[in-house]
Copies of this chain bind each other. A is one copy, B any other.
Amino acid sequence: MKSEIIAVGSEMLTPVRQDTNSLYLTGKLNELGIAVIFKTIVGDRLQDLASVIRTALGRTDIVVLIGGLGPTEDDITREAVAEALSLSLRRDAAQVAALHARAAAWRRSMSANNLKQADVIDGAVVLPNPNGSAPGQWLDVAFGGFRKLILLIPGPPNECRPLFDIECLPRLSAIVPKRFIAKRTLRAAMIPESQADSLLAPIYTAYEDVETTILAHAGDIQFTLLCAKPNLEAARQRVDELAGRMEEALEDWLYSNNGDTLEQIVLYYLGLRQATLAIAESCTGGMISQRITSVPGASRSFLGGAVVYWDELKTTFADVSPALILQYGSVSAEVAKALAQGIRLRTGAALGVGVTGIAGPTGGTSVKPVGRVYIAVSDAQKSETIERTFRGDRDRIREWTTQQALDLIRRWLM
């Protein structure tokens, strides 16, 4: 079965706003075995939308319309569907009552415009909206001699997603051939994309019944394997087999075979070793700590640390000697190591990490260019320091440095 998603709203035709609901719905539709083969974004004009709806009905089985169901003049999705199919709209008494009850509960007066939301297309089933006043609609129609399905879903993400999950998914499951989905997510850190591709493409392209999608960002690569079969065991077996071969090829670039983030894995290993961590970061300015503390429960292993942006603070918070900074420069392997050792001793953590570098855009030299970073990790027995040079702008250099630091901690703990 094939579907088209139509996102309705002139704001999504500006340079600043993007439809994101369609990504969520695509994931859900795919899991049912329904492919999304077109996406269209259209503004708030009745004739434009009606024409887009007719085109979509001509080329797919299921048309999912997102947005344009609110109370304003601009909300024209109900009217456009009625127009496209020459159906009439009726004002539904139960919906009118529900709108009045909702307004009363919020102690708001209700303008006449609001009643638009009670208009139901002839033959449509009303889908209650758990988080808003505009209900969705489910319409099963004949078009060009075929049965077609049209779904009208409200646009705000906190209404769209639960309404789709609660009201549409069970109804869709009942009409598509039953399939079982097996899914796995592998994640790898700091492997060059081209190397990952040449390692893995020969493997996953041989599994035509498993859909492999790859997402790479700032030193992190995520592989999602998805297989749908009438039999769950068969689907799982294929995904597990492919995942096993990919894991083997990725060797220790791989850090997770169940979708966990790198910061989750670092915290997992810290918990396993009953070790604590503290970080002194300079050029990343708090980004590493911020990623680690984004994980709920991070406080079990992460003590904290210092943002040692000025050289004086490298001494104040991590006891790096001013003479060492003078001798090697604040961006040096020596200072990174002293930061790691100093923050560890000062906080009593089992593991200390020190990061210093040149994030740019200025401050580079011919010896130490913009993008040069030093990252050190240290425990009571030993230290390790690495040097890297990342390319790109300030944001990119900081993101890659953060990813590299987390990966260094992971490898240290493994």
Contacts and interface: CB of A to CB of B under 8 A. Distances in A.
B307 A293 contact: yes
A308 B293 CA distance: 11
A13 B26 contact: yes
Interface in A15-52: 15-18, 20, 23-24, 26-27, 30, 35-43, 45, 48, 51-52
Interface in A274-302: 278-279, 281-290, 292-294, 296-299, 302
B284 A16 contact: no
B41 A39 contact: yes
Nearest to A36: B13
B303 A286 contact: no
Which of A16, A213, A283, A298 has the most CB atoms of chain B within a 10 A radius of its CB? A16
A317 interface: yes
B23 A52 contact: no
Contacts of A45: 37
A346 B316 contact: yes
Interface string A202-238: 0000000000010100000000100000000000000
B20 A18 contact: yes
A360 to B, nearest CB: 7
A359 to B, nearest CB: 8
Contacts of A361: 296
Interface string A300-339: 0011111111101100110000000000000000000000
Contacts of A289: 285-286, 307, 309
Nearest to A346: B316
Copies in the complex: 2
B18 A23 contact: yes
Given A23-B16, A305-B307, A285 B294 contact: yes
B37 A38 contact: no
Contact of A27 (B15, B48, B288, B394): B15
Contact of A294 (B42, B303, B394): B394
A106 to B, nearest CB: 13
A298 B347 CA distance: 26
Nearest to A40: B40
A86 interface: no
Contact of A293 (B16, B278, B309): B309
B284 A290 contact: yes
A57 to B, nearest CB: 13
A286 B307 contact: yes
Contact of A37 (B13, B23, B310): B13
Nearest to A285: B293
A195 interface: no
Interface of A: 11-18, 20, 23-24, 26-27, 30, 35-43, 45, 48, 51-52, 55, 59, 213, 215, 224, 278-279, 281-290, 292-294, 296-299, 302-310, 312-313, 316-317, 346-348, 359-362, 394-395, 398
30 contacts: A13-B26, A13-B35, A13-B38, A14-B26, A14-B213, A15-B27, A16-B213, A17-B213, A17-B215, A18-B18, A37-B45, A38-B43, A38-B48, A278-B313, A279-B307, A283-B293, A285-B289, A286-B287, A286-B288, A286-B307, A287-B290, A293-B307, A294-B394, A296-B360, A296-B361, A303-B313, A304-B306, A304-B308, A304-B313, A305-B307
Given A12-B39, A38-B43, A284-B293, 13 more contacts: A14-B26, A15-B24, A17-B213, A39-B41, A286-B288, A289-B307, A293-B307, A296-B361, A299-B309, A302-B309, A303-B312, A306-B307, A312-B347
